[in-house]
Amino acid sequence: MKCCVIFTGTGPILILTTYPSLTEQNFVDKLASKGIKKFIAYELPVKLVREKYGSYFDTVLNDVSQTDDLRVLDYNGHNVFYNFSFADMGEPVLYES
Residue 1 pLDDT: 86
Closest CA to 72 of 87, 53, 91: 53
Average predicted confidence (pLDDT) for the chain? 91
What phi and psi values does residue 52 have, to the nearest 5 degrees?
Answer: -75, -30
Predicted confidence (pLDDT) at residue 75 exceeds the cutoff of 60: yes
What phi and psi values does residue 43 have, to the nearest 5 degrees?
Answer: -75, 150
Instruction: Give the mean model confidence (pLDDT) for residues 53-60.
Output: 90
Residue 32 pLDDT: 94
pLDDT band of residue 66 (cuts 50, 70, 90) is low
